[in-house]
Structure 1
Amino acid sequence: MRIHRLEIQAFGPFAGRQQIDFDELSAQGLFLLNGQTGAGKTSILDAVCFALYGSVPGARQSGKRLRSDHAEAATAPEVVCEFSARGRRFEVTRSPQWDRPSARSGKGTAVQQAQTLLRERIGGAWVEKSARNDEAATELSEVLGMSLDQFTKVVLLPQGEFAAFLRADAKERRPLLQRLFNTQRFEAVEQALAADAGVAKVEYDQALAAVGLLLRAAREEAGRHLAQDQLPDDSVDGAGLLGELQEAVAALAADAAARAADGAEELARLRAEAAAQERRIADHAELGTLEELEDKRRTNEPVYRQLAEDLQAHRRAELLAAPIRHRDQAAAAAGQAAGTAQRLAEAAAAHPLYGDYGTELPAPAAAGEAAERLAAVLAEAADRAGTQLGRVQALLPEEERLQALEASEAELEAGLLRLATQMDRTAEDTAACRDEAARLQEDLQSRQAEAGDLPALERRVAEAEAVAGVVAEHTACTTELAAAAGARDEAKALQLDLKERWLHLLQQRLDNAAAELASRLEAGAPCPVCGSEEHPAPAGAGAGRLVGEDEETAARQEHSEAESRLAQAQQECGRLEARLAALAARGGETPAAEARAAVDRAGAELDAARQAALERGQLESAAAAAAARLEELGRQAAALDVDHAAAGTELKAVREQRGQLGNRLAALAPTGSTLSAHAEALSGLVAALGEAVRALDASRHAADALEHSADELAGAIAGSAFDGEEQARAALLSAADLAAAQLAVEEHTLLGQRVQLLRDSEPVRRARADRAAGQLPPDADAAAALRSRTEELDEAVRDLQVRSGVLQASDRQLQSYGPRLAEATGVLDAARERFDRIQSVAETVRGLGENERKMTLTTYVLAARLEQIAAAASERLGTMTDGRYTLVHDDSKSGNKKSGLGLHVNDGWTGQRRDTATLSGGESFMASLALALGLADVVQAEAGGVDIETLFVDEGFGSLDEQALEQVMDALEGLRDGGRVVGLVSHVPEMKLRIPAQLRVAKGRQGSSVELVLGEPAGV
């Protein structure tokens, strides 16, 4: 890469445009960049970096204003650099962000965003490549093949930094080498292998825990039946331990089954003997019950005979109950109808309008001619009132029309008022809108807002959000791990609770084993213990409730499922721990506030740039909207004028129609009322008269019905066995008495049937046979003693059977652990092998384990680069020191520290290797200069072999004596071979005499300036 031309304007200390022709300096090969302190020598180097990378090196970038304070306010800062690289020639023009004077009123400033223009010379003409900051940066990065950090170490050689690098320890050298040689991929390999090792460790721990969980479960299962000294030693391997446990529990199960069978046989014999005694006692108790019931039936026979006679009399009287009920109902209905008719007639006569249409009512009467006369008077009044109602209803539409006209008049008056208000408001809105449009137009003409470098800012936001995303994912994973740990603890607690519940149910089942067997007995089916088909006294549950085999088995299954869920929860915790380690390796442990603050800062800058880009469009949209609003308000005002005139004409016509119709209807309505109210009153009178006439008709029909029902009752009594109505009423029983008599007779009948059944039953015949033979019932105490012995043996047999069942279940459970243990052991062996392999590789690349030098993979790569740098630097240092000194890379360990990045100097005079800190000031300068040049060669090769044809060496020559300076100058002269141009930055006076080609920088009150002084080329 060769620099041909550099132009600087309003940049750093340079106010006016300064031009530097590096092609003229190239003919000299070596030139001196000198000037007073603060004149701007370093600013020239800054301008080169800014032109190529849009930024200045290191600490000079932080907080520094690039625009010159000496330049005119309206002069734009600008750097133009023409250079060639990879056989192509480019020109890049950059302007940093700066505050230019506002174009509106000359007051204040506006932000002018950074700008870039990249051109390439093709076929003798300049062709524009890009005018975007991001596109130009991408193109330049591909052409140069170096980052800004690498460029400042390869093209700009700052001696102060390399002197520090020369004396630094391995830990301090590492960051610089990492920046220059981009070792992130090797660090990523280290982190990935560490994460894989963590995952493999978790998988191995999980597999080991699974095997241990199975063995603990097997030991716990066997421990329920075996004493502690009967359990195998922990030194036995997994398969052997499980086999010994299975054999021990199987032997106990076989012994328990044999003992349970012997006890069941003896229990069957005792139960048969006790059943025979219980049967004889029950037979004699049945005979005593029969004798008691026979005595009771003989005593109550007369009472039940009288009740039967009363029931027969009631059934005869029931034939007259319906006629009596019908006559009573007809009498009540006739009285109620007569009262209702009289009340409605009086109510109709009390109506306010009755006097206008009817005559005075005749005297009250329930039936006969008086009732007919009353009905005729009311009917005549109803006809006259109905006729009048028809005439009034015919006029109701006219009254409704009058009301509609009055409502229309009120609505038109309100409409006129609203239109007037709208016209005033429209006039006010028009004036306000006209003022707003004028203000917006003025702002639009005076404001020119520029858009920022949105793509670059968007990339910064995306990068910051990516970091924040990793941090958020790490935080979420931490939360998930905490939740998973809680779930694991809950699963453990649940597993313990279910285990306790299962053991409790098992104990209850042991306590009630006899009741469990009894619950399975069926009538007529043989007993599984004694074989008898009769079950006279099945055992009941003792203390606690009865627990069956299904419930106990279900509890055991729930406990087993809880163990599986616990294992899954432990596995999930391991997975999340591995994932958390991987996220931490990617930087997930960065403080969330720091990551969020970076996102906020980038977002704020992006929002500000977007707001600047939107301001002009917003003003244009607002101005267009205001103009459209003015036009719309004009149309509204014209429409309101037309509507107001039309509404006034319509109101006048409605008022004339309302007056004419009101005068015509005023004579038709009663004084103080309306036609509709009068029609409603007439309708009420007609309805009341019609209801009264209908009630009188109903009263006459009710009287006829009463007379008919009385005749039917008299005929029914004459044809019955009773002498009169009172005698029939006395024979009828109430519902309660009737039910009681029927129930008593039925009970007496059922008692007789029960007595007969007992006389014919087999137990009574056996008891009478015993009594006839002189045999007494069995002794109750002897039977109780036999029953007690049977119950005791039953409880013992039940315990033996339950214990046998539990042992058999444990044996089956232990047998089921065999395949699961084999599978878990296979998984454990594979996990152990994978973990050992990955852990060995991960520790090796991280400088641990068998890595004797304790050197990480990244350090190994950097050590190789440092070895190349030392070799390249030694060639230059040997020339400068007459072959005395060479730089040597040292990868040996120092104590417990890791090796890899040591640097020493070999002294050819003494043959000793010593620390670089022992060099004198001049020797350190020559060593650091050689190191910088060697680093430039290595980085140049790393960048793809880019030719570096322009170099700058910054300061440090004042520490050299005359001979050393001569040797250094000879080395620098060698750099010109092949057409390379080298610029030296120095204040040393002798340098001004030795180097005729100079680039002088002078400072002044109006800003610095550059002067090119050329002498005879070196060697002429």
Structure 2
Amino acid sequence: MRIHRLEIQAFGPFAGRQRIDFDELGAQGLFLLNGQTGAGKTSVLDAVCFALYGSVPGARQNGKRLRSDHAEATTAPEVVCEFSARGRRFEVTRSPQWDRPSARSGKGTTVQQAKTLLRERIGGSWVEKSARSDEAAVELGELLGMSLDQFTKVVLLPQGEFAAFLRADAKERRPLLQRLFNTQRFEAVEQALALDAGTARTGYDQARAAVEQLLRAAREEAARHLNPGEVPEEAATGAAELEQLQRALAALAGRAAAEAAGAAAELEQLRRLVTEQEQRLGDHAELAMLEELEDKHRSNEPACRQLAEDLEAHRRAELLAAPIRHRDQAAAQAGLAREQAGRLAEAAASHPLYADYAAELPAPPPGGDPEETLEGLLAEAADRAGARLGQVQALLPEEERLRALADSEAQLEAGLLGLSVEMRRTAEQTEALRAEAARLQADLQSLQTSAADVPDLERGLEAAEALAATVTEHEACRAQLAEAAGARDEAKALQLDLKERWLDLLQQRLDNAAAELASRLEDGVPCPVCGSAEHPAPAGSPTGRLVGEDEEAAARQKHGEAEARLARAQQECSRLEARLAALAARGGETPADEAEAAVEQARTGLEAARQAAQARERLESQAAAAAAALEELARQAARLDVDHAAAGTELRAVQAQREELGRKLAELTPAGRTLAEHAGDLSALIAALSAAAKALDASRHAEASLERSQAELAAAIADSAFDGEEQVHAALLSAADLKAMQAEIEDHTLLGQRLQLLQDSEKVVRARRDRQAGPALPAADDVEVLRGRAAELEQEVRDRQVRSGVLQASDRQLQSYGPRLAEAAAELEAARERYERIQSVADTVRGLGENDRKMTLTTYVLAARLEQIAAAASERLAAMTDGRYTLVHDDSKSGNKKSGLGLHVNDAWTGQRRDTATLSGGESFMASLALALGLADVVQAEAGGVDIETLFVDEGFGSLDEQALEQVMDALEGLRDGGRMVGLVSHVPEMKLRIPAQLQVAKGRQGSTVQLVFAETGAV
């Protein structure tokens, strides 16, 4: 993958469009990216990542606004990157989401969504591939062959991160390697094997539990019936134990069955004896009861004959009871009819309107029936009142209409009055609103000018606050720089002291090299220098003291640590100096009280302008509301005028109709009554007259019915055997007496029938025969004793049969356990073998069990990749350090920790392997650079051999001395082989002299800019 062109607009610190031609810049293979701190060197690399992946690396994405704060509000942020990959040329254009000023209202902002456009150059012209972010991401991912995380480690080489990676322990290296080499599939294998092992363990436990459950059930089944001494001891296998339990329980079941059969035979013999004795006692009891009943039947015979005669007299009297009852009912009804007719006739005569209609009736004829005559007069009066009621009811709707007209008149008068009041109130409101609208317009004119300066004042306040913050930050940075300078001076003094101490010890050790060698000689052992076994004159120490290797190494290590601390202190001072210069350029040296006064002045002016703007908006809203209210009041006044005229016309028409209808109804309505009330009075009079006439007619019919009933009763008594009505009453019986007599006669008759049946029964015949034979009857107590013994024996038989059945069922249950136990045992053996096999594999890939190095499968894969990285990095590190240092992968264990991701450095000068943390600052930079380049080679191969033709190396060159810098530059020059383009990001002044092709980033108040500079020719 090679980058040809990059365009940046309104992105990061870049306000205007910046164009970078990487083909021209990297024509010589190596170029320098430099500029002041904060100018935007890293933002150039961010733009490359954003164009290719739609995101920026690592922590810079979090909380960072991609759109430039220096750009115009309407300028859209955009990054364009033209690149080649896999023999094809592409152009990708991306714009992040940003807030665009609203074009419709002119106020506020509108969210502009992110955009992406991917084009490919085919046949000399650009062809659009996709305008969707998701589709473009898939296409670019396939072209580049690596993720953003891999891209930032392969194409953008951040030395700070690789220095941390170099000094990290195995646990800290693991996450980075996992992200780069995508080892999720190996972790998935570990998890899948662990899951399979758990499933196999569950199957094994279930199979073992099934066998144990069968054996436990068999033991419990046998223990329910066997005594402790009868339970066999546990056998070597479950099958043998089950067979012993089956034999013991089968023998017990056989004994129980034999005992139950013997008890059943004894019970049958006893039952036959009890049945025979009970039958004799029952037969004799039946005979005794027969004899007792015969005596009772003979003694009741005379009384039953008298009861039959009394019952016959009652039946004859019952024939005359109905005529007597009819006569009594007719007499009662006649009396009630006479009483009701008199009461209703009196009620009709007392009605207020009765006199008006009775006076018009003709006089009754002489000699007629008074009741019949009165009935005719009442009916005639009812007819006359009915005729008048019809006339009145015909006029009832007119009376209701008169009432409705009166209600309508009252409502119209009230509405007319309300409309008059509403018209006056509307006129008053109109005058008041006109005055209020004039006042609001005057106030608006006074606020128009003071509220127009809010945007300018807001920008002035932001600038003043930014300056005050810069002043505060400048003072804090100056204090931090003073503290850091003191720490740097202390670290430098300590480093010089320790370096002198180490060099002194090293010189002493070199001076005493012969004496140190002589101290190791042993008699008879060849000299490692001359090979002689004799040592006649061993050399001694010139100073009298030998400096050991451990003492010299400890001094060297302390010096290395002090040198690393000094490098860190120098870097911190450089960072703070650059930051202080940047703050001073932004006005940080302005006096603090002057900056605060400017902020307060801007805030006061802005607050006053904002209040004026708010007051103006409020007055504009009130003026618009007042104008709308005036228009509404005008429409309401016109509507009220029309409604008032219409209501007056309608009121006059209703009044004329009411007066005409009132005169018409007054002619037919009695004084003091309404027409409806008069109709009610007529209806009540007609009802009273009709009821009285009907009651008189019913009274005459009741008297006639009474006379007929008396004649019928006298004729019936004359034809009967009774002399009068008194004898009939005496012969009649009450219902209770009649029922008792009938029951007594029926009981006597049934007793005779029962005696006849008992005399011929089998029991009586058998008892008489047994009495003649003469054997003595058994005592009832003796039979009861036999019966109790039979009941006890019956319960015993049931208990024995139940026990026998339970034992037989248990025996069958134990027999069924045999095949099930064999099947369960076979399943247990298969589950055990499977579990042990899968668990062994799972433990191995998880670094457990027989895995001596405690290395998981994922760690094993990462260790192989780390070994490749160390081998690739060692080639470059050896070239940078004249063959002194190489990186070595270490997979040995440390205590109980898992092995696999260790990293050490081999020092060819001392022949020792040591920790990477012991390297000096410059050595650490060279090692981390070599490590980054080696990692790029391995990741490139892992990504399918994608050609990486563009590399960026970010910072770190300031920690190198002149010789180390020369060696590193030689190694970087080697990266250009094959047409590769390498960009170095650095502040080091010497780099500007070494590298003619440069991309310079300059910062300013209006945003940063870039330019291409070629030092040899001075071309720009």
Tell me the TM-score normalized by structure 2: 0.72
- Give the equivalent residue in structure 1 for 2:811: 811
- Give the equivalent residue in structure 1 for 2:150: 150
C-alpha distance after superposition, 1:817-842 (max 9, x if no partner): 45655665565555545544543443
Question: Relative to structure 1, is the Cα distance of residues 659 and 10 closer, same or farther in structure 2, using a 3 angstrom cutoff?
Answer: same
Question: Relative to structure 1, is the Cα distance of residues 658 and 152 closer, same or farther in structure 2, using a 3 angstrom cutoff?
Answer: same
Residues in 1 aligned to 2:903 and 2:120: alpha-carbon distance in whole angstroms: 43
The answer to whether 1:670 aligns with 2:656 is no
Residues in 2 aligned to 1:126 and 1:645: alpha-carbon distance in whole angstroms: 81
The answer to whether 1:339 aligns with 2:339 is yes
Residues in 2 aligned to 1:806 and 1:830: alpha-carbon distance in whole angstroms: 36
C-alpha distance after superposition, 1:294-333 (max 9, x if no partner): 3333444443333222222212211112111111111111
Residues in 1 aligned to 2:823 and 2:744: alpha-carbon distance in whole angstroms: 80
- Match runs of 1:92-241 below 5 Å: 92-97=92-97, 114-126=114-126, 133-235=133-235, 237-241=237-241
- Give the equivalent residue in structure 2 for 1:777: 777
Which secondary structure state, in structure 2, belongs to the residue aligned with residue 320 of structure 1? helix
Contact 1:349–1:361, Cα closer than 8 Å, also in 2? no
- Give the equivalent residue in structure 2 for 1:251: 251
Contact 1:155–1:951, Cα closer than 8 Å, also in 2? yes
Question: Relative to structure 1, is the Cα distance of residues 651 and 714 closer, same or farther in structure 2, using a 3 angstrom cutoff?
Answer: same
Give 1:707's aligned amino acid: E
Contact 1:359–1:381, Cα closer than 8 Å, also in 2? no
Runs (5+) with no aligned partner, structure 1: 436-629
C-alpha distance after superposition, 1:540-561 (max 9, x if no partner): xxxxxxxxxxxxxxxxxxxxxx
Question: Relative to structure 1, is the Cα distance of residues 1013 and 253 closer, same or farther in structure 2, using a 3 angstrom cutoff?
Answer: same
Residues in 1 aligned to 2:94 and 2:880: alpha-carbon distance in whole angstroms: 40
- Give the equivalent residue in structure 1 for 2:788: 788
The answer to whether 1:313 aligns with 2:313 is yes
- Match runs of 1:601-680 below 5 Å: 653-680=653-680
- Give the equivalent residue in structure 1 for 2:975: 975
Question: Relative to structure 1, is the Cα distance of residues 385 and 846 closer, same or farther in structure 2, using a 3 angstrom cutoff?
Answer: same
Residues in 1 aligned to 2:701 and 2:412: alpha-carbon distance in whole angstroms: 62
Give 2:783's aligned amino acid: A
- Match runs of 1:493-892 below 5 Å: 653-817=653-817, 821=821, 828=828, 831-832=831-832, 834-892=834-892
- Give the equivalent residue in structure 2 for 1:355: 355
- Give the equivalent residue in structure 2 for 1:472: none
Residues in 1 aligned to 2:208 and 2:214: alpha-carbon distance in whole angstroms: 10
Question: Relative to structure 1, is the Cα distance of residues 652 and 160 closer, same or farther in structure 2, using a 3 angstrom cutoff?
Answer: same
Question: Relative to structure 1, is the Cα distance of residues 396 and 731 closer, same or farther in structure 2, using a 3 angstrom cutoff?
Answer: same
Residues in 1 aligned to 2:104 and 2:380: alpha-carbon distance in whole angstroms: 101
- Give the equivalent residue in structure 1 for 2:466: none
Which secondary structure state, in structure 1, belongs to the residue aligned with residue 151 of structure 2? helix
Residues in 2 aligned to 1:395 and 1:422: alpha-carbon distance in whole angstroms: 41
C-alpha distance after superposition, 1:564-589 (max 9, x if no partner): xxxxxxxxxxxxxxxxxxxxxxxxxx
Residues in 1 aligned to 2:134 and 2:417: alpha-carbon distance in whole angstroms: 65
Contact 2:361–2:380, Cα closer than 8 Å, also in 1? no
- Give the equivalent residue in structure 1 for 2:479: none
Give 2:675's aligned amino acid: L
Contact 1:313–1:731, Cα closer than 8 Å, also in 2? yes
Residues in 2 aligned to 1:276 and 1:376: alpha-carbon distance in whole angstroms: 97
- Give the equivalent residue in structure 2 for 1:295: 295
Residues in 2 aligned to 1:837 and 1:417: alpha-carbon distance in whole angstroms: 106
Contact 2:115–2:133, Cα closer than 8 Å, also in 1? yes
Cα drift, residue 27 of structure 1: 1.3
- Give the equivalent residue in structure 2 for 1:520: none
Give 2:733's aligned amino acid: L
Residues in 2 aligned to 1:163 and 1:202: alpha-carbon distance in whole angstroms: 48
- Give the equivalent residue in structure 2 for 1:1001: 1001
Give 2:801's aligned amino acid: Q
Question: Relative to structure 1, is the Cα distance of residues 135 and 701 closer, same or farther in structure 2, using a 3 angstrom cutoff?
Answer: same
Report the aligned-residue RMSD.
4.2
Give 1:168's aligned amino acid: A
Deviates more, 1:749-758 or 1:821-830: 821-830
Residues in 1 aligned to 2:779 and 2:99: alpha-carbon distance in whole angstroms: 124
Cα drift, residue 94 of structure 1: 4.1
Cα drift, residue 975 of structure 1: 0.6
Which secondary structure state, in structure 2, belongs to the residue aligned with residue 776 of structure 1? coil
Cα drift, residue 17 of structure 1: 4.5
Deviates more, 1:802-811 or 1:192-201: 192-201
Cα drift, residue 917 of structure 1: 3.6
Residues in 1 aligned to 2:300 and 2:834: alpha-carbon distance in whole angstroms: 99
The answer to whether 1:987 aligns with 2:987 is yes
The answer to whether 1:49 aligns with 2:49 is yes
Contact 2:26–2:997, Cα closer than 8 Å, also in 1? no
Give 1:175's aligned amino acid: P
- Give the equivalent residue in structure 1 for 2:59: 59
Report how many aligned residue pairs link the two structures.
Answer: 818
Contact 1:25–1:981, Cα closer than 8 Å, also in 2? no
Question: Relative to structure 1, is the Cα distance of residues 982 and 656 closer, same or farther in structure 2, using a 3 angstrom cutoff?
Answer: same
Which secondary structure state, in structure 1, belongs to the residue aligned with residue 5 of structure 2? strand
- Give the equivalent residue in structure 1 for 2:499: none
Contact 1:379–1:690, Cα closer than 8 Å, also in 2? yes
The answer to whether 1:930 aligns with 2:930 is yes
Residues in 2 aligned to 1:836 and 1:788: alpha-carbon distance in whole angstroms: 69
Give 2:291's aligned amino acid: E
Which secondary structure state, in structure 1, belongs to the residue aligned with residue 933 of structure 2? helix
Deviates more, 1:42-51 or 1:267-276: 42-51
Cα drift, residue 951 of structure 1: 0.9
Runs (5+) with no aligned partner, structure 2: 438-629
Contact 2:361–2:381, Cα closer than 8 Å, also in 1? no
Cα drift, residue 370 of structure 1: 2.5
Cα drift, residue 207 of structure 1: 4.0
Give 1:141's aligned amino acid: G
Cα drift, residue 55 of structure 1: 2.7
Contact 2:333–2:702, Cα closer than 8 Å, also in 1? yes
Which secondary structure state, in structure 1, belongs to the residue aligned with residue 656 of structure 2? helix
Give 2:195's aligned amino acid: A
Residues in 2 aligned to 1:765 and 1:773: alpha-carbon distance in whole angstroms: 13
- Give the equivalent residue in structure 2 for 1:267: 267
Contact 2:157–2:953, Cα closer than 8 Å, also in 1? yes
- Give the equivalent residue in structure 2 for 1:616: none
Contact 1:416–1:644, Cα closer than 8 Å, also in 2? yes
Residues in 1 aligned to 2:417 and 2:830: alpha-carbon distance in whole angstroms: 94
Residues in 2 aligned to 1:878 and 1:385: alpha-carbon distance in whole angstroms: 143
Question: Relative to structure 1, is the Cα distance of residues 1007 and 380 closer, same or farther in structure 2, using a 3 angstrom cutoff?
Answer: closer
Question: Relative to structure 1, is the Cα distance of residues 983 and 800 closer, same or farther in structure 2, using a 3 angstrom cutoff?
Answer: same
Give 2:957's aligned amino acid: F
Which secondary structure state, in structure 2, belongs to the residue aligned with residue 387 of structure 1? helix
Question: Relative to structure 1, is the Cα distance of residues 97 and 658 closer, same or farther in structure 2, using a 3 angstrom cutoff?
Answer: same
Cα drift, residue 790 of structure 1: 2.6
Cα drift, residue 67 of structure 1: 4.5
Residues in 1 aligned to 2:827 and 2:672: alpha-carbon distance in whole angstroms: 107
Residues in 2 aligned to 1:870 and 1:79: alpha-carbon distance in whole angstroms: 36
Which secondary structure state, in structure 2, belongs to the residue aligned with residue 230 of structure 1? coil
- Give the equivalent residue in structure 1 for 2:955: 955
- Give the equivalent residue in structure 1 for 2:944: 944
Q: Highest Rg: 1 or 2? A: 2
Give 1:224's aligned amino acid: R
Percent identity between matched residues is 79
Deviates more, 1:169-178 or 1:862-871: 862-871
Which secondary structure state, in structure 2, belongs to the residue aligned with residue 32 of structure 1? strand
Cα drift, residue 208 of structure 1: 3.7
Give 1:937's aligned amino acid: D
Cα drift, residue 857 of structure 1: 2.7
- Give the equivalent residue in structure 1 for 2:516: none
Cα drift, residue 715 of structure 1: 1.5
Which secondary structure state, in structure 1, belongs to the residue aligned with residue 172 of structure 2? helix
Residues in 1 aligned to 2:160 and 2:361: alpha-carbon distance in whole angstroms: 137
Give 2:376's aligned amino acid: A
Tell me the TM-score normalized by structure 1: 0.72
Which secondary structure state, in structure 2, belongs to the residue aligned with residue 743 of structure 1? helix
